[in-house]
Amino acid sequence: MTAAAQRVRGGNVAWMALPAFLMFLAFGVVPLLGVLALSFTTWNGIGEIVPSGTTSWRATLSDPGLPHALWVTFLIMALSWAVQTPMSILIGVFIAGRKRYREFLAVLFFIPLLLSSAAIAITYKSLLDPSFGLGSGLGIDALNQDWLGNATLAMATLIFIVSWQFIPFHSLIYQGAVRQIPTSMYEAAQIDGAGRWKQFWSITLPQLKYTIITSSTLMVVGSLTFFDLIYVLTAGGPGDATRALALLMYQQGFQANLMGPASAIAVILVLVGLVLSLVLRRLGGRADESQLEGA
Amino acid sequence: MNRRNFLGLGVGAGAAAALAACGSSGPSGGSSSGGSSGGGGAASYWSLSGPPGEPVRQAAIDRFNKANPDSKITPTFFQNDAYKQKIKTSLGANQGPTMIWGWGGGGLKEYVDSNLVEDLTGWLGENAAVKDKILASSFGAATVNGKIYALPVETVQPIVLFYNKKVFEKVGVQPPQSWGEIMALVPKFNAAKIAPFSLGGQSRWTNMMWLEFLLDRTAGSEVFDRVFAGEKDAWSDPAVLDMLTKIQDLVKANGFQKGFSSTTADSNADQALLYTGKAAMMLHGSWSYGIQVSNGGNFVKDGGLGWMNFPAVEGGKGDPSNTVGNPGQYLSISSKATAEAKDVAKKFFSTTLVDDDEKAGWVKSGGVPVLKNSESLFTGGDAQFLKDMAGIANGAKVFAQSWDQALSPTAAETLLDNIAKLFQLQVSPQQWVDSMNGVIGK
């Protein structure tokens, strides 16, 4: 490393982070403190903001809607993780191969990544409509289920659409990670007589450990903030079957005009997110441990 | 300055610009329409976009601006749901318009409680001629604590039972005259693979219309009056349990189309079910007529659409002439506007909004105006519908305002939430009553 490069690494790095830090301060930290302050007030969104101590917190914590929304949130988180992770790893490993047809397929896989959540939700909602959707259009009765109007089916449909939307992104991460695994490890394994299956379990998967953690963190924390997709698809319904925390917050704040309790839910949402990402980081172990044992 | 520093500055400036842009979230259409800054004889007006209302609203403002060249009104139109958010945020930030369009009732009361709108009682007293031109029944939802805070404008919109005449002919049945006949029709339509009723259940207020009519027909309007007055345990009336059970019976008998709880009214999917003949009946606001005309092809022109007031319930105490809906739309004047802007608004209220062109414009759009003596204007293809709507609105012993508009937004949200769960069979009638009693007066 040259002396100049060393200087860039040391002194100038903090200065380069300044714009990002200022943005984070203005649009992340300041609103967060504002929400924390609002959670100790009573406000209908248009009138005066009245400090009211823990009234909003007591209302929020005693609302049976809160544990239900937490349950729905964790269910969406767990199920979408369990569906997305194996699929993404498999697709990532597949498209990491340097063959022409795989690269062509990789391009196709990424199409959902180009679409906005709202567009995806509107499209699926129309396709799944029991009266005017795909099922009645093609006359296939099996497709003519009450996809978004039945509590269990609505949750399953939601997980499917979330996975459809985000698997391409995580596959992209895994593709990059697989391509970084030194080929010498596979060559050594081949000499030792390990087959493709054995190579996948003993080399690829352990080598992807940090990628799995990164991708899982993104999935888990990301699933906390699902709003647009659920709002357009089911609006939290039927009943409250898909009302996750973010939707409960919106409902309380902008439909019931209860900004205090809505802010309290927002604080809970932030805390859950922070705890989850800390736990996932811990799971990752020390960042400087070697990954090349046995190579 | 080296290149890197320069780039850093650039990003910083971008952030500052983004911050500044967030500060000015004013209207997109008007130029100087901030309520607090609309001086110099200019006033701003916010309302809903889209037909059939927007062209009539725009025409009224054009008429006023032409007649009053030195006092301009600047309109801005928003989509329904966007407007509800926008008006709340801008009023909270003192950036609201001079004239605030609304639905009256609980939403208006919230503005009154925050001192955001002018008391018009005195002004209407001095201008009795203006008040006399408007249907008296429309003033109820404009009145808070005995004082009038808004001018009823535009149209009277009762909720009626629409039906597809062709489907009734095909199945060989007659429109229902009672609740018993409704329940008897349900299996007949289901057997013919036609949904008895179309319902945009995801929108929730659509489900509420069923409760409004069933409670009124079984018990009269007094039960909800007690809820509205904030009386303790007002929902604990046997008639309420009876009404809720009837609704769940209808749901269990597959009275609504498959997937009704994921159908939205905003997309007019519920309307489409009726004119495509996939559903036989639909309980909806009178504005549906305009949608059926414009989206249904020749459906209305060929006489396919029928309508009637909601039928009686056997043994019910309610007057079958009663109706529910929007007794009008409402324009308030911002208390934060300048004196000049308020004067412009009042001039608009007392001249253009009550003139004959205004009346004719709303009739032409397919609505019954809140202005008196509009019957002579009902001509052409829509005449029968308009006559019937005026008949229902004027003949109603009680024209109740929709519950979600009458109640405060907080109580309305709990109501809609519980109604959605009721239709989902997620709560029993008794559970429904218990949770609704918990928010009375809130």
pLDDT tens by residue, B210-264: 999 999 999 988 999 899 888 999 999 999 999 999 999 999 999 999 989 999 8
What single letter denotes the amino acid at residue B399? Answer: F
Q: Checking DSSP bridges between strand A41-42 and strand A50-51, what pairing results, if any?
A: antiparallel
Average pLDDT over residues A201-229: 89
Residue A1 has a pLDDT of 46
* Residues contacting residue B226 through CB under 8 Å, at least 6 positions apart: B234, B237
Is the pLDDT score of B19 beyond 70? Answer: no
Element (H, E) at A258: none
Residue A11 has a pLDDT of 59
Residue B16 has a pLDDT of 37
What ranges do the domains of chain B cover? 31-154+328-373, 158-325+401-437
Handedness of CA B19, B23, B24, B25 (dihedral sign): positive
What single letter denotes the amino acid at residue B134? Answer: I
In whole angstroms, how far apart are CA B32 and each of A15, B29, B39, B325? 41, 10, 9, 35
ipTM: 0.82
What ranges do the domains of chain A cover? 71-245
Residue pair A217/A281 in contact (Cβ under 8 Å)? The answer is yes
Q: In the beta sheet, which residues pair with residue A154? A: none
Element (H, E) at A1: none
For A50-100, the pLDDT digits (tens) are 999 899 999 999 988 999 999 999 999 999 999 999 999 999 998 888 788
Q: Quick one: pLDDT band at residue A170, thresholds 50, 70, 90?
A: very high
Q: Do A235 and B414 touch (CB under 8 A)?
A: no
Classified by CATH at the fold level, domain B158-325+401-437 comes out as D-Maltodextrin-Binding Protein; domain 2 (3.40.190)
Residue with tokens 């509590």: A151
**Helix B409-423 to helix B429-437 angle, to the nearest 10 degrees?**
170
* Residues contacting residue B125 through CB under 8 Å, at least 6 positions apart: none
Distance CA B257, CA B254 (A): 7
**Between A268 and A221, whose confidence is greater?**
A268
Distance CA A234, CA A23 (A): 33
Question: Torsion-angle region of residue A254: left (phi > 0), alpha (psi -120 to 50) or beta?
Answer: alpha
Please give the backbone phi and psi of residue A110, each rounded to the nearest 5 degrees, phi first: -85, -5
Question: Torsion-angle region of residue B8: left (phi > 0), alpha (psi -120 to 50) or beta?
Answer: alpha
Query: Which ranges of A147-240 would DSSP assign to H, the alpha helix?
Result: 151-180, 183-191, 196-199, 205-207, 209-224, 228-233
Q: Which of A16, A21, A30, A46 to mutate to test the interface with B (most CBs of B within 10 A)?
A: A46
What single letter denotes the amino acid at residue A263? Answer: S
Residue B10 has a pLDDT of 37
* Residues contacting residue A220 through CB under 8 Å, at least 6 positions apart: A77, A81, A276, A277, A280
Q: Do B261 and A44 touch (CB under 8 A)?
A: no
In whole angstroms, how far apart are CA A22 and each of A154, B6, B14, B15? 41, 16, 11, 8
Look up the pTM and report it: 0.83
Query: Could you say which of B8, B408, B420 has the minimum Cβ distance to residue A237?
Result: B420
Render the burial of A201-217: b for 16+ CB within 10 Å, e for the rest.
Answer: eebbeebbeebbbbbbb
Q: List the single range of B26-30, B278-282, B429-433 with lowest mean pLDDT.
A: B26-30
Q: Which CATH architecture best describes the domain A71-245?
A: Orthogonal Bundle (1.10)
* Residues contacting residue B394 through CB under 8 Å, at least 6 positions apart: B135
Is the pLDDT score of B276 beyond 60? Answer: yes
CB pairs under 8 A between A and B: 117
Is the pLDDT score of B386 beyond 80? Answer: yes
CA distance A287 to chain B (A): 30
Q: Quick one: pLDDT band at residue B20, thresholds 50, 70, 90?
A: very low
Q: Do B421 and A239 touch (CB under 8 A)?
A: yes
What single letter denotes the amino acid at residue A129? Answer: D
Q: What is the CATH number of domain B31-154+328-373?
A: 3.40.190.10
Distance CA B259, CA A19 (A): 49
Residue B149 has a pLDDT of 96
CB half-sphere exposure, B410, CA atoms < 13 A: 17
**Between B210 and A6, whose confidence is greater?**
B210
Please give the backbone phi and psi of residue A274, each rounded to the nearest 5 degrees, phi first: -65, -45
Residue B18 has a pLDDT of 38
Average pLDDT over residues A142-161: 90
Is the pLDDT score of A270 beyond 60? Answer: yes
Residue A75 has a pLDDT of 95
Q: Do A19 and B91 touch (CB under 8 A)?
A: no
Q: Do A130 and B421 touch (CB under 8 A)?
A: no
Is the pLDDT score of B26 beyond 70? Answer: no
> Which residue from A minimizes the CA distance to B278?
A131
Q: Which of A146, A255, A259 to mutate to test the interface with B (most CBs of B within 10 A)?
A: A255
